[in-house]
Chain A
Amino acid sequence: MRVDFSAASGTLLAPEAVIDGLLGGADPAPALAAAGAIVDGAPHPSLEPALQAVEQALCRMRLERGERTGAVWASPAVCAILVPQDGRLRLSSFPTLFLPDALARVNDLGPRPRIEPARTISISPGDLATAIATRSAAGAGLDDEERELLQVTLDALREHWRIEARWEPSAESPGVRVVEVVDTDAGMWSVIPDASRVELWPTTPTKVFRALGGLLPRDHEIPVPS
């Protein structure tokens, strides 16, 4: 499978094994040099920010979108993002100030109608997974109004996506934050864990964008360097 590299943007498109080797510190695959990503045994300068972000990350994010997964490594100045593209993985970087925008783009965040009536639905994680997979709220143990409300949104399902951010925490931090959304053309649900069940809360793209910006740890949530 081919390796493509854009020196202008620092974007690398390569098979998973090649990316894993590069990020894992293994000897670079010859295909990387052939594509121009490695020059004289060293990463091309425009690829350096992505590799530095991976190496110096204060926070790592796991991206899930349907069956697809990706990752973000966030350092104070720069982030690396790794997402699937046409059977390969695409590695690129951007300034950390662009993180909410980047996460909004990969999840196609945009205007959506409001879920009405704006009521919360409690459901088991298994029933939610089944409902999303089958696009049917039947058998999810909901009352009539809940089932109808959920079904309207499942009929217009765009994607179920989740971002989990983790970092080495200070004593004041749980070290993890999650944004999970069921995104539909009939409105958006925020998925909130609640003991052994989850709650679906009607949400808006504005609230989701705020949550994306709030994924990174605050200063007090990271141990002070000794």
Chain B
Amino acid sequence: MDREAYRHAELGFTIELPPGIEVHEDLPHVALLAVERSDVVPEGTFRASLSVVAEDGPEGLDLDGYVAGSLEREIAAMDDLRLLDRDQYELGGVPVVRTLAHYRGGDALAVALEQWRLIARGLGWVLSSTSDAISFADKGEIMAECAETFRVEGATL
């Protein structure tokens, strides 16, 4: 699949996105939201998305502590969130923790939530891919391939 290169001018990160996806940079607390266009999915269907959030953290923020706190907040905020997987590796030379969870997004909506968390340039970064759980096999995989291209400029170990 051809992907489109994206660079966030202010925060200095790059990522490749699925072609033709709708991009928003003007949402509060969200650096980037890339979401399926409404005209390419059936009406009323949950639109898969990939978002990037950059957060200030305390001095000396460590990845495990950051992930634990971030997950704890999500478990408190989301209905019936259940952690399915957790993995740690390097993304562009930077340690990253990838998690997969699902939660209840409504009476008839189950959401798969795959996330990548890393610390770079003193900020905590969270990439979140969401899709309805039954589409995760297709859409989730496409979003995951894009997430793996995420790089923070100037990030060092």
Q: Which residues of A approach B to under 8 Å, CB–CB?
A: 95-101, 104-105, 109-112, 114, 204-206, 209-211, 213-214, 216
A99, A110, A114, A211: the one within 8 Å of B84 (CB): A110
Contact B110 A111 (CB under 8 A): no
Max count, chain A CB within 10 A of own CB: residue among B112, B134, B135: B134
Q: Which residue, of B107, B109, B137, B140, has the highest number of chain A Cβ atoms within 10 A?
A: B137
Hey, which chain A residues are within 8 Å of B100, CB to CB?
A: 205-206, 209
A103 to nearest B CB, angstroms? Answer: 10
* B interface, size bucket: 20 to 34
Contact B110 A100 (CB under 8 A): yes
Closest to A213 in B: B137
Query: Contacts A206-B114, A210-B140, A216-B134; is A100 near B102 (CB within 8 Å)?
Result: yes
Quick one: which of A96, A110, A209 has the most chain B CB within 10 A?
A: A209
A184 to B: closest C-beta gap in Å: 15
Distance in Å: Cβ of B73 to nearest Cβ of chain A: 18
The reply to whether the CB of B26 lies closer than 8 angstroms to some CB of chain A is no
Chain B residues near A (Cβ < 8 Å): 82-87, 100, 102, 107-110, 112, 114, 132-137, 140-141
Determine the distance from Cα of A127 to Cα of B107 in the docked complex, in whole angstroms. Answer: 45
Residue among A95, A114, A211, A213 making CB contact with B87, cutoff 8 Å: A114
Main secondary structure of the interface of B (DSSP, over half): strand
Interface of A is mostly: helix
Q: Is B85 touching A111 in the complex (CB atoms < 8 A)?
A: yes
List the B side residues contacting A110 at CB < 8 Å: 82-85
Contact (A97, B132) CB under 8 Å given A111-B85, A209-B112? yes
Say which residue of B84, B114, B134 sits within 8 Å of A109 (CB atoms).
B84
CB-nearest residue of chain B to A78: B108
- Per the bound structure, the CA–CA distance linking A138 and B136 in Å amounts to 39
Is the Cβ of A210 less than 8 Å from the Cβ of B141? yes
Q: Is the CB of A104 within 8 A of B109?
A: no
Chain B min CB distance to A205 (Å)? 4
In the complex, which residues of chain A have a beta carbon less than 8 angstroms from the beta carbon of B112?
100, 209, 213
CA distance A216 to B138 in the complex (A): 13
Q: Which of A96, A99, A206, A214 contacts B85 (CB 8 A)?
A: A206
User: Which residues from A are CB-within-8-Å of B108?
Assistant: 95, 97
CB pair A100 B141 closer than 8 Å: no
In the assembled complex, which residues on chain A have CB atoms less than 8 Å from the CB atom of B132?
97
Q: Which residue of A lies closest to B105 (CB)?
A: A97
Bound-state Cα–Cα, A109 to B140, Å: 18
Complex: how many Å from CA A95 to CA B132? Answer: 12
Residue picked from A98, A110, A216, most chain B C-beta under 10 Å: A98
User: Are A97 and B85 in contact (CB-based, < 8 A)?
Assistant: no
Q: Is B134 in contact with A97, judged by CB distance below 8 angstroms?
A: yes
